[in-house]
Amino acid sequence: MVDFTLTDEQLSMREMAHDFAANEIRPVAWDYDRDATWPGEILEKAWELGLMNTHLPVEYGGAGLGTLDSCILEEEIAWGCSGIGTSLSCNGLASAPVLIAASEKLKKEYLGRLSEAPLLASFCLTEPDAGSDVSGMKTTATRKGDKWVISGSKCFITNGEYANWYTVYAKTDKDAGHRGISCFIVPRDAGVVVDKHEDKMGQRASNTATITFPEVEIPLDHLVGEENKGFKIAMTTLDRTRPGVAAMGVGVARAAMEMAVEYSKQRVQFGVPIAMHEAIQFMIADMATKVHLSRLATWNSAVLLDQGKRNTIESSHAKRFAADTAMEVTTDAVQVFGGYGFIKEYKVEKLMRDAKILQLYEGTAQIQRLVIARETLLPRRVEQPAAAAH
């Protein structure tokens, strides 16, 4: 049988993360959103409490938590503010390629930096002309003596202005499409330039920037994995991190549902609270179902990783469904509020703006459907499920 009953330790972690979100994040989240300011103090507090870098193995100074553990925490943080949650969890995305394929020397040096101080790292894959089409990237890496020379630009980089180091994908064979991409670690002090700060619709507390590498030189040993094998590293990375994005979708949707439930009990129309009207009840019921199923899909995709199994289709299911759920539930929550939902005084509108990016980053909803279709039409051998998952 499959068992998603949380352990006492997991329940305790969830309570700690919820308290942090309720007491440290929510009271200031809407101010950070309004001003699009950097939540540095909150990130430092999160680091001190062990809410950052939960994915890092113990041997590199991390907590060594599993994927499911991290998803439980990420849902609560996103319930507080998904913009702050994105900044807080980005180290997981940037360091995943390092954990997957880097040398032991690179792991100790760069993962160690994240555990020794509240530093940040960024994942640099997307370019102006290479979003879903990764093979269209123009950033290059060329050997020059005992150095790699990185030349190009990356856009939509989370924590880009504040990162201590970057995981960068570049073409090492310009004519080989996705088979000519390699992965590198680039320290900020190697000459990385921050070109642009993005002014966004939602998740405004999360820093997003354009980063340029103007013939930046790094040592040859800063290649992550094998030359021209970067595409596989990137795709494996996203399989690992999409459950976390799905968990954030659950957190955003849950927050919106709770706001809609509370408001529907207080708002009186036609002599009764609108929660008494069947039309509103059906909307709330649909929200509850979607949040519940999104969480189950998220946990399933996470548990497979914790069991050492391939989770490509499950992580795409979870990410696609939870992101779509976040958009649908927040939109319906605004509808429950009526005209007040469109006013910034009522905080539900922020959740609707925040939700949209979940359908876009780390693989758009359409890309997830392509992955799901491919895996469904050309299925691999089905593995026998484990007896239980904790």
Alpha-carbon torsion (56, 60, 63, 68), positive or negative: positive
Amino acid at 192: V
- Per DSSP, the residues of 207-275 read -EEEEEEEEEEEEGGGEESSTT-HHHHHHHHHHHHHHHHHHHHHHHHHHHHHHHHHHHHH-EETTEEGG
How far is residue 73's CA from residue 69's CA, in Å, rounded to a whole number? 7
Phi, psi of 257 (to 5 degrees): -60, -45
Alpha-carbon torsion (325, 22, 93, 130), positive or negative: positive
DSSP, collapsed to helix, strand or coil, labels residue 171 as strand
Label the pairing between strands 147-158 and 208-219. Answer: antiparallel
82-101 and 67-80 helices, crossing angle to 10°:
160
Q: Could you confirm whether 362 is annotated as catalytic? A: yes
What is the enclosing helix (H) or strand (E) of 28? helix 26-35
SS percent in the chain: helix, strand, coil, step 5: 60, 15, 25
How far is residue 369's CA from residue 320's CA, in Å, rounded to a whole number? 8
Q: How far apart are the first and last CA of the chain?
A: 11
Judged on CB neighbours under 10 Å (0-12, 13-18, 19+), 77 is buried
- Catalytic option among 76, 314, 349, 362: 362
82-101 and 26-35 helices, crossing angle to 10°:
90
Catalytic positions = 362
